[in-house]
Chain A
Amino acid sequence: MPKFLPTLARWSRLCVALAGIALLAGCDYNFWQMDGHQSTIVVDGPVAREQLKVFYVTVWVTSVIFVLVGGALAYATLKFRARNEAEEHAAPPEQSHGNPLVELSLIGASVLALVIIAVPTLRAIWYTYDIPEADKANAYEVTAVGYQWWFKFEYPAEQAAVDANSKTPLISANELVIPAGRPVQVHLRTVDVIHSFWVPKLAGKVDMIPNRANHLWLQADKPGYYWGQCAEYCGDSHAVMRFRVIALAPDEFNQWLEQQLQTARTVEASAADASRPKPQFAALRSFGQNEAGVTEQFDIAPLESWRAKQEPERNEDPALIARGRELFAAKTCNTCHTVRGHAAAGILGPDLTHVGSRSTIAGGLLENNREQLHRWISNPAAVKPGNKMGKAYVDNRITMTPEEETAIVAYLESLK
């Protein structure tokens, strides 16, 4: 027996042990639980559940095969291994060439295993493709449009006020609000490259492809706050093209709609304001590249945080907001953004009519708070490399003093 073998055995045992320890140490809170915000395993809707079921079927079938085939492989390796010098040099074994019967029956068994997978697969293909006939009447329709690198959401059935006498379908961005418990038909469109719409807890993804009318359906079992992400590589900032889906109970959904259909909120200066203390703004922090835009508190109760966003702040500074509104036009923000009722009707960027009521900005990347708004509008290119707003800053020569920034942020925050 070659003398290196014991050493080798020791080495390999060490390696395996290390690997085992490393894996077991994975008691990171959801490595094994698999219940992250974008989990496909802990799901909240019928479409994702159906897809999960198919996945489990494949897991079980392949696990059984793995045990059987792997067992045979392990057995053969251990049993027929040459253990010592003598066995290494023994006369060769019988030169047998195969056994058709064994092979045919194994082929048969494989086909059978595949049939077990194929049947639920076929069922689920049809189920997940379209809303079940019975539920169609109850379905809610929205259109999601991909942009490099954010999502626009249209509610074709809802007519929002532009001003006193004209209306337009409701448009929002980056946060899709849907009624819980109802199937939602999502039409998928894109204005530039291919994107993909993916809310793992609600449904698998479907791509948004230029010149192609795709759709998907999903349903949230209960009110909740769901993470979504673009799942098709779409250029520089694909990684930070995210969005949220907020499912609300019917009443709350209608309430939300009602608010969104209004034109942008205008904060009037009142007599009372003069006596109120001016809000104190925290010193601006400079952010590192890629620094996280979310806080841990937010994660604990995201839906609650979102709800809190619906209410106007208590101590607003009307003068500052009014100044912000002026600057919004002066800095050419209105060439790209729509603020219904505030003489801003750009369409290249997200609709900001009710941006203050959203829990995130910049495509779900940053939490919507004062600091992050500052971070975003002071240098969008640093947050999302290559994005159009950053380019516009260069092209339109947009620069801002901290005071101007503060005013614009106050204005944006007031847009509930």
Chain B
Amino acid sequence: MELAKSAYLTREEHAPAQPRLLAHPTGKTGLWGWLITVDHKRIGFLYGFFALFFFLVGGFEALLIRTQLMVPNNDLLTAQQYNTLFTMHGTTMIFLAVMPLSSAFFNFIMPLQIGARDVAFPRLNAFSLWTFVAGAIILNIGWFLPQATHGAPDGGWFGYAPLTSKTFIPKHSIDYWVMGLQLLGVASIAASLNFIVTIINMRAPGMTMMRLPVFTWMTLITSFLIILSFPAITIALVELMMDRNFGTGFFEVSLGGMPILWQHLFWVFGHPEVYILILPAMGIISEILPTFSRKPLFGYPIVVFSGAAIGFLGFAVWSHHMFTTGMGTVATAAFALATMAIAVPTGVKIFNWIGTLWGGHLQMRTPMMFALGFVWMFMIGGFSGVMHAAAPADAQQQDSYFVIAHFHYVLIGGSLFALLAGIHYWFPLMFGRKVSEFWGKLSFWVIFVGFNVTFFPMHFLGLNGMPRRTFTYDPNLGWNFPNLLATIGSYILGLGVLIYFIVMAYTYFRGQRVKRDIWDGRTLEWSLPNPPPEYNFRVIPTVHARDAWWYEKHHREEIARENAEHAREEDAHGGIHMPFGSIWPFVTSLGILIGAIGFSAFAPIPGPGIGPKLGISLVGGAVMLIGIYFWSLEGNEGYHLHLDKDGNVIEDDAKAHH
């Protein structure tokens, strides 16, 4: 039976055999289709969509910051507005832009790289997505509420106690921050558990751990960092929330609390967090450089191992953010040395990337430009990191613009460049179209120049004593020119970003169509047609070598024989298993959102008044429980697809399977 050409089936055609109270929604189109989707590629796309949106928002906030600082004693913004802006800029960029953008690639690319048809728990994946969206909403909700009593978060992105206590910021702004981050934590942990199980358990036959593509390895390590570091901030936030709403004394000096504890708990999370931001980027770079050098990654095992070493060491250095808190000599020395040690595994990666280029045939395509830009910029950012690690020098640099320069070099020159490279690199796979080389490279150069003009002068500003988080400065301190320069740079950077986005949007609709595997790729995702079908692999591939697809391309007959045999086997076992879509993850997240709004927006300002708070929270809790209940009743059922040899769906049966 010849059905539709695509694998996108309608609900009627696949009504389940058994009558049921709540039939599985199987719609594949329209808004409903997006809400119920459990397809890792669509979820990845949604992550990317929201992340890029919030990147623009965060960038817009940055431009406002820079405009305020363009000239001394500017009064474009009030102190209050400025403080809100940098808090939200930092929080947005880290939690709502870079992390979810990495997550977009984890979702979209990782299962394809290991030869899987989906992640291990597709509905949990949808739940992570929607909970992330809920967290983003809570974080930003304050913009739209009365500023005097609500307002967006304004305690700085690391929200040091006791400034964030009710005594000093009685508004709800901090409650939104607490709840927002809490939800983002839930989303990230759930997603990461899923990725860990997927990578460890869902690999195609022959895909041993030491054959995993480096990007997948970095996904795994990042996921571990997330599940092991987020609990620390979750607990810190719980304690803060208790202090704010239930009068506990965790950070309350009058009861004997020690606010320094917040800093420790925050940075126990915070430092691994920065590696959560950079490791996926390093993974992307480790895919792009070999592809465009047309040779395997230099020293694969040691690159993988150094990634793990960075992740592990990352848990032992948190106090380098606290060198100025008077920890005493021994602790300071220990953390300084541990921090420096991280330069070694990081250096290994840089060396191996250069080794990869060495002797290759470098094709200077746009992704490659961004990747090379990454290596340069990240190196500079890393060096200023080592300067911070030298604790006595850091006593002068901490909380100055030198830190701002350091981390924007690693975050933009590092993480962001790699993510932009990744978008260019995988765009043809995701959408079947390719960005024009000219416009791609142009956006690269404008971003590259703008970035350096913005942030290089900040090193000098910091060394010349300009503290961060200051909405104004006096004209007599020698900071005028570098600030002006930085602001001009940020406009250039903004222009570059704008070009980048316009080009992407244009390409999405009108760009040049390309055939599969346009870069002559090395890893399995390139073996798929673009865009990949819902079931990813017609036949689960058998992996024979590290660069699996490269090997397949050079052993075509052997692979064809193998695949035909596997296809027969699979058909005999019922065909391709596909999970049903489900609305319950969305409902669960919706319940969480409602509950969190109740909990943050109506937290008692001082006194008890818990009426509306309790009410709304309970409604949210009930919705959440309903979601979970029906979700668990659904069981992991799905339907089967059978394909003909051209990949058309020839038959499918909705027989529930386990």
Chains A and B form a bound pair: yes
Q: What is the CA–CA distance of A289 and B73 in the complex, to the nearest angstrom?
A: 8
For the complex, is B363 an interface residue (Cβ under 8 Å from A)?
yes
For the complex, is B111 an interface residue (Cβ under 8 Å from A)?
no
Cβ distance A233 to chain B, nearest Cβ, rounded Å: 4
Q: Is the CB of B348 within 8 A of A76?
A: no
Q: Is the CB of A194 within 8 A of B160?
A: yes
Q: Is the CB of B80 within 8 A of A385?
A: yes
Q: Is the CB of B482 within 8 A of A118?
A: no
Q: What is the CA–CA distance of A289 and B442 in the complex, to the nearest angstrom?
A: 41
For the complex, is B625 an interface residue (Cβ under 8 Å from A)?
no
- Nearest residue (CB) in B for A216 is B326
Q: What is the CA–CA distance of A134 and B466 in the complex, to the nearest angstrom?
A: 34
For the complex, is A355 an interface residue (Cβ under 8 Å from B)?
no
Cβ distance B447 to chain A, nearest Cβ, rounded Å: 10
Chain B, 37-93, CB within 8 A of any chain A CB: 72-75, 78-80, 82-83
- Nearest residue (CB) in A for B436 is A4
For the complex, is A252 an interface residue (Cβ under 8 Å from B)?
no
Q: Is the CB of B383 within 8 A of A386?
A: no
Q: Which residues of A contact B160 (CB under 8 A)?
A: 193-194, 232-233
- Tell me what chain B mostly uses at the interface: helix, strand, loop, or mixed: helix
Which of A39, A233, A296 is most buried by chain B, counting CB atoms within 10 A of its CB? A233
Cβ distance A179 to chain B, nearest Cβ, rounded Å: 23
Cβ distance B291 to chain A, nearest Cβ, rounded Å: 11
Question: Which residue of the partner chain, among A4, A82, A188, A193, contacts B363 with CB atoms under 8 Å?
Answer: A82
For the complex, is B8 an interface residue (Cβ under 8 Å from A)?
no
For the complex, is A394 an interface residue (Cβ under 8 Å from B)?
no
Q: Is the CB of B482 within 8 A of A31?
A: yes
- Nearest residue (CB) in B for A41 is B463
Q: Which residues of A contact B560 (CB under 8 A)?
A: none
For the complex, is A279 an interface residue (Cβ under 8 Å from B)?
no
Q: Is the CB of A125 within 8 A of B332?
A: yes
User: Interface readout for B382-412 with A: 1 if CB under 8 Å, 0 if not?
Assistant: 0100110111111111111000000000000
Q: Is the CB of B446 within 8 A of A99?
A: no
Question: Which residue of the partner chain, among A70, A72, A92, A102, contacts B361 with CB atoms under 8 Å?
Answer: A92
Q: Which residues of A contact B437 (CB under 8 A)?
A: 2, 4
Q: Which residues of B contact A52 (CB under 8 A)?
A: 393, 396
For the complex, is B631 an interface residue (Cβ under 8 Å from A)?
no
Number of interface residues of A (CB under 8 A): 120
Question: Which residue of the partner chain, among A106, A124, A214, contacts B325 with CB atoms under 8 Å?
Answer: A214
User: Interface readout for A229-266 with B: 1 if CB under 8 Å, 0 if not?
Assistant: 11111111111100000000000000000000000000
For the complex, is A215 an interface residue (Cβ under 8 Å from B)?
yes
Q: Which residues of B contact A233 (CB under 8 A)?
A: 83, 156, 160, 163, 399, 468-469
Cβ distance B359 to chain A, nearest Cβ, rounded Å: 6
Q: Is the CB of A98 within 8 A of B163?
A: no
Stretch at the interface among A12-20, A306-314, A331-339: A12-20
User: Interface readout for A194-229 with B: 1 if CB under 8 Å, 0 if not?
Assistant: 101010100111110111101110000000000101
Q: What is the CA–CA distance of A227 and B332 in the complex, to the nearest angstrom?
A: 27
Cβ distance A225 to chain B, nearest Cβ, rounded Å: 12
Q: Is the CB of A82 within 8 A of B362?
A: yes
For the complex, is B474 an interface residue (Cβ under 8 Å from A)?
yes
User: Interface readout for B136-178 with A: 1 if CB under 8 Å, 0 if not?
Assistant: 0000000000000000000010001011000011000000000
Which of B73, B354, B395 is most buried by chain A, counting CB atoms within 10 A of its CB? B395
Q: Which residues of A contact B485 (CB under 8 A)?
A: 22-23, 26
Q: Which residues of B contact A205 (CB under 8 A)?
A: 324, 395-396, 398-399
Q: Which residues of A contact B355 (CB under 8 A)?
A: 98-99, 102-103
Q: What is the CA–CA distance of A216 and B332 in the complex, to the nearest angstrom?
A: 14
Q: A18-B449, A296-B476 are in contact. Are A39 and B162 (CB under 8 A)?
A: no
Q: A51-B392, A212-B258, A234-B163 are in contact. Are A66 and B324 (CB under 8 A)?
A: no
Number of interface residues of B (CB under 8 A): 112
Question: Which residue of the partner chain, among A93, A204, A215, contacts B324 with CB atoms under 8 Å?
Answer: A204
Question: Which residue of the partner chain, among B73, B300, B466, B476, contacts A97 with CB atoms under 8 Å?
Answer: B300
For the complex, is B606 an interface residue (Cβ under 8 Å from A)?
no
Chain B, 334-372, CB within 8 A of any chain A CB: 336-337, 340-341, 343-344, 347-348, 350-352, 354-355, 357-364, 372
Q: Which residues of B contact A159 (CB under 8 A)?
A: none
Q: Which residues of B contact A48 (CB under 8 A)?
A: 396
Q: A93-B359, A206-B324 are in contact. Are A50 and B392 (CB under 8 A)?
A: yes
Cβ distance A251 to chain B, nearest Cβ, rounded Å: 30
User: Interface readout for B183-212 with A: 1 if CB under 8 Å, 0 if not?
Assistant: 000000000000000000000000000000
Q: What is the CA–CA distance of A148 and B168 in the complex, to the nearest angstrom?
A: 10
Q: Is the CB of A55 within 8 A of B295?
A: no
Cβ distance B342 to chain A, nearest Cβ, rounded Å: 10
Q: Which residues of B contact A95 (CB under 8 A)?
A: 295-296
For the complex, is B376 an interface residue (Cβ under 8 Å from A)?
yes
Q: A31-B482, A57-B390, A80-B357 are in contact. Are A231 and B399 (CB under 8 A)?
A: yes
Q: Which residues of A contact B463 (CB under 8 A)?
A: 34, 39-41
Stretch at the interface among A109-117, A135-143, A165-173, A370-378: A109-117
For the complex, is B256 an interface residue (Cβ under 8 Å from A)?
yes
Q: Is the CB of B294 within 8 A of A92?
A: yes
Q: Which residues of A contact B79 (CB under 8 A)?
A: 236-237, 239-240, 385-386
Q: Is the CB of A39 within 8 A of B328?
A: no
For the complex, is B488 an interface residue (Cβ under 8 Å from A)?
yes
Cβ distance B2 to chain A, nearest Cβ, rounded Å: 39
For the complex, is A37 an interface residue (Cβ under 8 Å from B)?
yes
For the complex, is B18 an interface residue (Cβ under 8 Å from A)?
no
User: Interface readout for B456-481 with A: 1 if CB under 8 Å, 0 if not?
Assistant: 11001001111111111111111111
Q: What is the CA–CA distance of A294 and B457 in the complex, to the nearest angstrom?
A: 25
For the complex, is A290 an interface residue (Cβ under 8 Å from B)?
yes
Which of B300, B453, B467, B477 is most buried by chain A, counting CB atoms within 10 A of its CB? B467
Q: Which residues of B contact A320 (CB under 8 A)?
A: none
Q: Is the CB of A209 within 8 A of B325?
A: yes
Q: A31-B482, A51-B393, A207-B325 are in contact. Are A38 and B466 (CB under 8 A)?
A: yes
For the complex, is A107 an interface residue (Cβ under 8 Å from B)?
yes
Q: Which residues of A contact B361 (CB under 8 A)?
A: 80, 82, 87-88, 90, 92-93
Cβ distance A105 to chain B, nearest Cβ, rounded Å: 10
Cβ distance A138 to chain B, nearest Cβ, rounded Å: 22
Q: Is the CB of A73 within 8 A of B376?
A: yes
For the complex, is A281 an interface residue (Cβ under 8 Å from B)?
no
Chain A, 68-82, CB within 8 A of any chain B CB: 69-70, 72-73, 76-77, 80-82
Q: Is the CB of B464 within 8 A of A39?
A: yes
Q: Which residues of B contact A96 (CB under 8 A)?
A: 295-296, 298, 359
Instruction: Taking A129-B332, A233-B399 as given, write out 18 further A-B residue pairs in contact, using a Cβ cutoff of 8 Å, ordered by the A residue number.
Output: A19-B452, A39-B463, A70-B376, A77-B372, A80-B293, A80-B360, A88-B363, A97-B300, A114-B344, A129-B329, A198-B467, A203-B395, A204-B392, A205-B396, A232-B399, A239-B472, A292-B73, A386-B79
Mark A residues whose CB is within 8 Å of B: 2, 4, 7-8, 11-12, 15-16, 18-19, 22-23, 26, 28-31, 34-41, 48, 50-52, 54-55, 57-59, 62, 65-66, 69-70, 72-73, 76-77, 80-82, 87-88, 90, 92-100, 102-103, 106-107, 110-111, 114, 117-118, 120-122, 124-129, 148, 188, 192-194, 196, 198, 200, 203-207, 209-212, 214-216, 227, 229-240, 288-294, 296, 299, 385-386
* 9 A–B contacts from the bound complex (CB under 8 Å): A4-B438, A51-B395, A62-B387, A80-B361, A94-B359, A96-B298, A238-B83, A238-B470, A385-B78
Mark B residues whose CB is within 8 Å of A: 72-75, 78-80, 82-83, 156, 160, 162-163, 168-169, 253, 256-260, 293-296, 298-302, 324-326, 328-329, 332-333, 336-337, 340-341, 343-344, 347-348, 350-352, 354-355, 357-364, 372, 375-376, 379-380, 383, 386-387, 389-400, 437-438, 441-442, 445-446, 449, 452-453, 456-457, 460, 463-482, 485, 488
